């Protein structure tokens, strides 16, 4: 597979086979992604690979926190405080596309709630990668981190694996840091669900649209 095909094939996978991911593949993914660029070679990434009992312990606590309406404590603002166009519409369309694919009606709040809970199980992926960054680092390091995350996802595709990057897995960082013995000063950026895609699952059948090139590019000579 060439890089053009890999980029276009990557998608957010939300249903996985009950199949373990080989440790050697995980190591290959991370060992490849570490070659992502970073300003003055800072390499700000810090990764925890979580599976099996430890994964279950964390997700059980997250689900309980969400059900108990505990306030989210994500360490940074992922989304805007005020949604404006065109992002407001794109966000709404994406949610409607997923729910319509699953045949979940707008008025069916219980099914919507249960679907959201799947975020905290990482959609039952066998592996979750948690990503941390030192809190004193600035925006440039977050840009670097994005390139690292993309490298992970593309390498996973190359190795026949699916991923889903999830900000939801950073909503209760205290739970994760306590279970993984991570310093409180670290910021939990996000998690990535990692596993073998269940290609028969209906939720994996939809793809979010992309805007046309001319809608975001201008050429100047």
Q: What is the pLDDT of residues 145-187, one digit of tens each?
A: 999 999 999 999 999 999 999 999 999 999 999 999 999 999 9
Residue at 159 is within a domain: yes
Closest of 128, 170, 147 to residue 43, by C-alpha: 147
Q: What is the CATH number of the domain that holds 54?
A: 3.40.109.10
Residue at 197 is within a domain: yes
Residue at 85 is within a domain: no
Residue at 91 is within a domain: no
Q: Report how many domains make up the chain.
A: 1
Residue at 218 is within a domain: no
What is the value of pTM for the model shown?
0.95
Name 32's Cβ contacts closer than 8 Å, sequence gap at least 6.
Answer: 151, 155
Residue at 188 is within a domain: yes
* Cα distance between residue 118 and residue 139, in whole Å: 30
Q: What is the pLDDT of residue 107?
A: 86
Residue at 109 is within a domain: no
Closest of 157, 211, 176, 111 to residue 12, by C-alpha: 157
Residue at 112 is within a domain: no
Domain that holds residue 74: 3-79+121-203
The residues of the chain scoring below 70 in pLDDT are 1
* Cα distance between residue 93 and residue 95, in whole Å: 5
Q: What is the pLDDT of residues 96-111, one digit of tens each?
A: 999 999 999 988 989 9
């Amino acid at each position: 597979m060439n890089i053009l095909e890999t980029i276009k094939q990557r998608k957010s996978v939300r249903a996985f086979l009950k199949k373990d991911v080989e440790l050697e593949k995980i190591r290959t993914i991370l060992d490849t992604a570490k070659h992502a660029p970073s300003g003055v070679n800072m390499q700000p990434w810090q990764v925890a690979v979580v599976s099996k009992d430890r994964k279950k312990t964390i997700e059980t606590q997250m689900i309980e926190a969400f059900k108990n309406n505990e306030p989210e404590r994500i360490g940074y603002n992922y989304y805007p405080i005020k949604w404006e166009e065109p992002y407001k519409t794109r966000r709404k369309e994406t949610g409607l596309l997923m729910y319509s694919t699953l045949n979940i009606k707008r008025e069916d709040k219980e099914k919507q709630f249960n679907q959201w809970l799947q975020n905290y199980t990482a959609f039952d992926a066998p592996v979750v990668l948690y990503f941390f960054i030192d809190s004193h680092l600035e925006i440039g390091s977050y840009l670097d981190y994005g390139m690292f995350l993309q490298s992970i996802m593309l390498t996973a595709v190359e190795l026949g694996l699916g991923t889903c990057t999830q900000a939801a897995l950073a909503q209760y960082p205290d739970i994760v840091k306590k279970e993984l013995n991570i310093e409180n000063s670290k910021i939990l950026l996000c998690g990535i669900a990692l596993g073998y895609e269940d290609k028969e699952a209906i939720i994996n059948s939809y793809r979010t649209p992309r805007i046309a090139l001319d809608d975001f590019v201008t050429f100047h000579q």
